[in-house]
Structures are given as C-alpha cells and as structure tokens.
Structure 1
Amino acid sequence: MKNILFLLMIFSLLSCKNKSRNYDSNSSYSSSYYEDEDGYTDGTYCAEIEYYYYKTGTRSTYTLEVEIEDNELTIIYWPNGGWLDDSHFYPPDISDGYAEFESDRGVEYTIEITGEEGDCYTSSSAPSENSFVDDEEDQICPRCGDSKYSYDDYCDSCTDEEENTCSNCGAYEYGVYGGLCSSCQDDEDDDW
C-alpha cells in the first residue's frame, strides 16, 4: 500500500510539473510572434501601433506594417504609400516584439508585433505622422496654446480679446474689433 501511495505521489508531481509554466517575473513583454531567442529575422511584420501626441493629448491606434533590421525597428509604413524611417527616430530594440520611441516631431509610439507580413489587415485610414501632427496642431491656438476648432484662427478667448481690445490703449470694450474704445474715441474727437 505504501508503494502504491508513493508511486501515485510521484506520478502526481511529474504530471503537475509537465503542466506548469515557467514564468520569469523579471522578463519583459513577449509577443506571440516572437521568433526565437535571437529575436526577429530581418523583414516586414504586422504591428499594432499606438501614436500619442503630447501637445494635444491625442492617442490613436492602428495596425500597420513595420520593417525590422538586426532586431531594431527601422521603418513604419503608412497605408498611403509613405513611411517613417530611422532618419526621424532612433531605432529601438524590438527583439522581444515590443518597442517604444519618440520621433523627431514629438510623437510617441508604442509598437507591438502581431504577425508576419501578409498575416494582418492594415488600417487603411491611418494618417501619416505629418498628417497626424498637422491635423492636431490645427486645433491648437497659435497665440495661447489652448485648444480651438481647426477652422478658427484663434481659440474663443484669444478671439474675444482680439475683437474687444482697443488698439490704442489696450482697454477691453465689447465690439471694438481692433479699433478704438469709446474713451480713446472721445479723446480723438476732442483733439479735432
């Protein structure tokens, strides 16, 4: 009976060991398309790409193709035929399927490899970095930096200030539209 119990205990331990997973608490993110311990072979891969533009707080996520060379991300391909290459960012290590970097225009990127070239449907509406930044900057008031509608020249506060500030003395009066306030108008009338 002791022998049977001993054998059952060993069998249970072995079967549990075979089912267990080895997790390394210090390991970094690992993509499901991780090639091998040496990383990725040079080529084109599908990736989920998140853009973040700090000036506006805008964040967008798209699926695009990327180029990897020597386990470094070197190119992001836009659906319009353009690309962002390593002349605009320092190529990050992506050997574990994940990378983060900031471009020379201040856009922060988070990249996760999701498959090999041809294994995904890329986002056809993803804007290039230039379009993304330009569209977002159209919504920043050039005078004060607050948000504005893209079709307005200035935000509401700056427009109000421009429309209601005397061009002579700088006093605020409703409806001046860059002209003279009633006080400066009276002074001008008195001078005649």
Structure 2
Amino acid sequence: MLVGSRQTLIVGVMATLGGLAGGLILGTLAGAFGGWVDAFVMRVVDVMLSLPSLLLAFSIAAMAQRPSQWTVITAIAIVNIPIFARLLRGSMLAQRHSDHVLAARALGVKPSAIVFRHMLPNALGPVIVQATLVLATAIIDAAALSFLGLGNPDDRAPEWGQMLGMAQQYLSDHPHLAVYPAICIIIVALGFTLMGESLREALDPKTRR
C-alpha cells in the first residue's frame, strides 16, 4: 500500500504540473494578446472541454504503443490543460483593466513587462487553488486508467488503480485486496479537495472575517 501510494502521488502530481504548465502557456497567450489569438485558443479549449475528461484521457493513453506510467501522466496532463487555460485567461482579462495595469501603460512600460510583472503574478491565485482541486481528480483519473490496464504493467511498481484491477479475480475470496486501495484513493482525493477549498477561502478576501 505504501509503495502504491508513492506511484499514485507521483502520477497525480506530475500530471497536475504538466496540465498547469500547458494551461499557463495557453491562458497567458489568450489573456495577454486577445483578438484572434484569444479566439483561436478558446475554441481549442472549448473542443477539449466538450469531451468527457476520462474518455479523452482514455483515448490519448490508448494511442501509446506500450502502456506505461508516462502515458497516464501525459494523458491526464493534456486533459487538465483547458481547465487551467480558461481560468487563467479569465483572471488575466480581469487584470487588463485594473488600475495598476493602466498606470503601467501610462508610464510607457513595455507590454511584455506588463504581462509578466503585473498581470500574470496577480492572476495566479485562483490557478494555484484550482491546482489542488485538479490534483484530486488527477489521482482518481490515474487510478481509473491503471484499473483499465493503461498504466504501468510492471507489478514491481504497484499503483492503487492497478491493485484494484488485479484484485478483481480474488474479490470473492479476498475482498480486502480491493477495499484497501479504494479507501486510500477516496481519502487522498477527499483530502486534496478539502485542502483546495480551505486554500480558496484563505486566499479569497471576500470569505475572510
């Protein structure tokens, strides 16, 4: 169980970081440039969001010739990119008309400096909070893909979803082999979700007392 937790957390964290990196790039492009760049990026994001996340991740992971841990990480990271991109784009659009950005433009600051020094740092708060919530869903999606046989096939590197899949043939005689990994997945996902909600309340000035 402990070794499986390591693999599960590695997949969840790496997939979340990959989706965050891709979302930062697309969201920054859409929020900073606007116009046709914003329209093109958002249409791509809309197409990705129109597909069920698990189905899209399953399709991407199934395209790999040999299933491995990295195929799961890549699939889940691609699925999470539009979530971060849309959120960051909305935050940056709100920053474009803020007083400090207008003051920087009036002083003749370069557009690149306005984007990376004034707009982007002030728009990252909601994205960081969303990353903790996405981490919970990434762990569940990783377990689902491993359960379906698209994860690492090596038994020497167990993962909770893989353990659930292998426990099916022993379910009638040894049900605890499936119960324990399932409980661990639920507890870890719930823990990151509660942490994300607490972080959102802590960073949101409207919820402070």
TM-score (norm 2): 0.20
The structure with the largest strand share of the pair is 1
The structure with the largest helix share of the pair is 2
Q: Which has the larger radius of gyration?
A: 1
**More RCO (CA 8 Å, sep 6+):** 2
TM-score (norm 1): 0.21
